[in-house]
Amino acid sequence: MAVLALTSSLQDMRQRLAKMVVATSRSGQPVTTEDLGVSGALTVLMKDAIKPNLMQTLEGTPVFVHAGPFANIAHGNSSILADKIALKLVGPDGFVVTEAGFGADIGMEKFFNIKCRYSGLRPHVVVLVATVRALKMHGGGPTVTAGMPLPKEYVEENLELLRNGCSNMRKQIENAKHFGVPVVVAVNAFKTDTEAELDLVCSMAKDGGAFDAVRCSHWADGGAGATALGQAVQKASEAPSNFKFLYDLELPIADKIRIIAQKIYGADDIELLPEAQHKVELYTKQGFGNLPICMAKTHLSLSHEADKKGVPTGFVVPIRDIRASVGAGFLYPLVGTMPTIPGLPTRPCFYDIDLDPETEQVNGLF
């Protein structure tokens, strides 16, 4: 998935698949799919997957849906090919909106440091999405349990909780500005949000350095609910920007990890546990030390601990291991207890998916 999302052509995908490392030899050399003679077969398997899926919104706006690598364990962005095709279609005066998933501290950081390096594209504006409820949680609100009613703090006005939680939004605005790109905050407004709460979020966003902050209701009103956001983005795109990466690829692996942890997460330092230190030495020796870093970290906190909300301080980020996705083109440190396989419910939906052999009708997808 990560290879697919970061490739720029069929030839590039062939090369990336060939570089995938599947083992290390007894002499310490990487063993690739090309060494095993299977990279051509892999390319054949992926020859149709490389084509983006063209879909549309309910209002008829074209949308490319292509690739979905999770942002807490991979780089969390849709494909470079989809972006480039979209840019070609809208022309020099058009706008392309592309998503970076799972929190600005991981999805956005990886968009800039990984995807922008490989695509050569430079964004004009960051749209940072916020909700009153999420900010209240970062302000110390009670735990939300799936399937249970929301605690009253999230459905009743609580300006103190919200004000405390806005510290997280301000930190994410600061994170975006590390890359030299103007930020527009899109505040998704829901029926339980009060005028005072929405005004507070917009005000604190602007005070925190956002170019603008606007209310949005496109989830309910379609395009009409995002008109103000579109206008703000257009103005922000005309503002001066000075895009830059967070770190130089030639830096040692540990230094690149440390820069992300300190500047984006607000950590005091990092701690390389023995396995991670071994991998730093191994990958440096194997010639992978100049790859960008893709932190495998929880999206629920700026820190490595999911229950630490707001803007944690005074913590050290433990790196328990580092793995290499050489085909995709990055190293991914495992932060804290972060698992590398997404969790599934006790009864996954794939139990209900099947194909009717008579009609070829797919059942159970919706």
CATH number at residue 144: 3.40.50.300
pLDDT beyond 70 at 342: no
How confident is the model over 28-55, as pLDDT tens digits?
999 999 999 999 999 999 999 999 999 9
Number of structural domains the chain divides into = 1
How far apart (Å, rounded) are the C-alpha atoms in residues 7 and 171? 31
How confident is the model over 255-272, as pLDDT tens digits?
999 999 999 999 999 999
Which residues are CB-neighbours of 115 under 8 A, at least 6 positions away?
5, 6, 75, 77, 80, 100
How confident is the model over 177-236, as pLDDT tens digits?
999 999 999 999 999 999 999 999 999 999 999 999 999 999 999 999 999 999 999 999
Whether 45 maps to a domain, the answer reads no
pLDDT bin (cut points 50, 70, 90) of residue 134 is very high
Whether 94 maps to a domain, the answer reads no
Whether 190 maps to a domain, the answer reads yes
pLDDT beyond 90 at 349: no
Whether 166 maps to a domain, the answer reads yes
Whether 189 maps to a domain, the answer reads yes
Whether 23 maps to a domain, the answer reads no
How do beta strands 53-56 and 354-355 pair?
unpaired
Supply the angle between the helices 195-207 and 159-177 in degrees, to the nearest 10: 30
Whether 151 maps to a domain, the answer reads yes
How far apart (Å, rounded) are the C-alpha atoms in residues 292 and 288? 9
DSSP per residue, 301-362: -SSSSTT--S---S-EEEEEEEEEETTTTEEEEEETT--SS----SS-GGGG-EE-TTT--E
Token pair of 212, please? 């603008």
Q: Domain limits at 144? A: 124-242
How confident is the model over 282-333, as pLDDT tens digits?
999 999 999 999 999 999 999 999 999 999 999 999 999 999 999 999 999 9
Which of these, 169, 238, 175, 252, lies nearest to 204 by C-alpha position? 169
Whether 259 maps to a domain, the answer reads no
Which of these, 281, 245, 265, lies nearest to 318 by C-alpha position? 265
Which of these, 258, 263, 250, lies nearest to 318 by C-alpha position? 258
**pTM value?**
0.91
